[in-house]
Amino acid sequence: MLRRLKEIAILSLSLFAVMPVAGQDLLANQAPIDRKMKAVDAEMLQHLVEIEEYDSPADDLYDDWDNTYAHRETALPDSFRIDLRGFCMPTPSRVITSNYGPRWRRQHKGLDIKVYIGDTIRAAFNGKVRVVKFERRGYGNYVVIRHPNGLETIYGHMSKHLVAENQEVRAGDPIGLGGNTGRSTGSHLHFETRLCGVALNPAIMFDFVNQDIVSDFYDFRKDSYEYDNRLAARLRGANGQYGYNPADVNSPNVGKSHDTANNGGTTRYHKVKKGETLSSIARRHGTSVKALCRLNRISTNVRLRPGQILKYN
Report the amino acid identity of residue 96: I
- Number of helices (H), then strands (E), belonging to the chain: the values are 6, 21
DSSP state of 10: H
Half-sphere exposure of 97 (CA within 13 A, CB side): 14
How far, in Å, are 64, 100, 103, 132, 198 from residue 72 at the CA level? 11, 19, 21, 16, 8
User: E strand or H helix at 140, and its extent?
Assistant: strand 140-146
Residues 214/206, Cβ–Cβ less than 8 Å: yes
Tens-digit pLDDT profile for the chain (313 aa)?
444 545 555 555 555 455 565 555 665 666 666 666 666 666 665 555 555 555 678 888 998 999 999 999 999 999 999 999 999 999 999 999 989 988 777 889 999 999 999 999 999 999 999 999 999 999 999 999 999 999 999 999 999 999 999 999 999 999 999 999 999 989 999 999 999 999 999 999 999 988 999 889 999 999 999 999 988 888 765 433 443 333 333 333 333 333 333 334 456 778 888 889 999 998 888 899 998 888 888 888 888 888 788 888 7
Q: Are the beta carbons of 161 and 123 closer than 8 angstroms?
A: no
